[in-house]
Structure 1
Amino acid sequence: MSHHIHQVQQHHIMQPTVKKTPARQNTESFKDVLAGVQELKVSKHAKERLSQRNITISDNQWQSISEKMSEAKQKGVTDSLVLTNKAALLVSTKNNTVVTAMNKEEAASKIFTNINGTILIND
């Protein structure tokens, strides 16, 4: 049995150079940025109501609704009524979700409870 010690050659590991970039000056907080990125959800119930009542909302209107919901949330609104020229939507800004939908005729004769804000969308 041989008791020789073998010498292991050392290898130098090159570490990548890290360039330090100055921190960006950004006025939006991470929470605000995240809120803007969150996707608007439409509940199963709201999808059914939109379909049953033949309510169509364009992509531009959905974008406007989403943006206004984000603004409302920043102002402390948690549950809101969104009024467009064709529909009324009850939304949860807290969950970024459309809860239900009505056409204009149905909305005219209703009383809306448990909301703490209203959003008007001009078509």
Structure 2
Amino acid sequence: MDPRIQSFHRPLPIPKKRSLNQKPNAPFQQFLQEAKEIKVSKHAMERMRHRKIEISEQTWTKIGEKMTEASKKGVDQSLVVLNDVALVVSSKNRTVVTAMDRNETQSQIFTNINGTIFVNE
């Protein structure tokens, strides 16, 4: 048999088992931290900047919690309604897709969403 082909058929090493008391490694901890964060798309960031929309850190935390809850219930795309702002978010990707102030929402039709999240500020 050709030696080049044999090298592809070597068995992979078996990973060592971790005890349950071991702490997860740094990359895994970083993954967990990033999973909690909310990303803002370039489009949404530009809209927020243009419309002078500011959201407090406390409100972002509430939004993140509700996005996690929505995702667990199978909601992928949501309309997040705040006192003065509306956001379209992807709960699945934890990303803000677009943002507008509530005055703009009165004449809008929101499509491709399967949930609504109300957040009291």
TM-score, normalised to structure 1, is: 0.71
Q: How far off its partner does 1:36 sit?
A: 8.3
Q: Helix, strand or coil for the counterpart of 1:69?
A: helix
Equivalent of 2:117, from 103, 119, 123? 119
Q: How far off its partner does 1:22 sit?
A: 7.0
1:80-99 to 2 correspondence within 5 Å? 80-99=78-97
Q: Does the Cα contact within 8 Å between 2:62 and 2:119 map onto a contact in 1? A: yes
Aligned residue-pair number: 95
Q: Helix, strand or coil for the counterpart of 2:71?
A: helix
Whole-Å separation in 1 of the counterparts to 2:49 and 2:110: 21
CA distance 1:54–1:21, shift in 2 (3 Å): closer
Tell me if 1:52 matches 2:42. Answer: no
Q: How far off its partner does 1:94 sit?
A: 1.1
CA distance 1:35–1:119, shift in 2 (3 Å): farther
Q: Does the Cα contact within 8 Å between 1:36 and 1:67 map onto a contact in 2? A: no
Larger radius of gyration: 1
Deviating beyond 6 angstroms after TM superposition, the runs of 4 or more aligned structure 1 residues are 20-23
Q: How far off its partner does 1:35 sit?
A: 8.7
Structure 1 portions without partners, runs of 5+: 1-19, 24-33
| Amino acid in the other structure paired with 1:38 | K
Whole-Å separation in 2 of the counterparts to 1:39 and 1:55: 19
Q: Percent identity?
A: 55
| Amino acid in the other structure paired with 1:85 | N
1:1-123 to 2 correspondence within 5 Å? 34=32, 37-123=35-121
The C-alpha deviation readout for 1:84-117, integer Å capped at 9, x for no partner, is 0010000001111000000010011111000000
Instruction: Please give the root-mean-square deviation of Cα atoms over the aligned residues, in Å.
Output: 2.2
TM-score, normalised to structure 2, is: 0.72
Structure 2 portions without partners, runs of 5+: 1-18, 23-31
Which structure carries more helix by proportion? Answer: 2
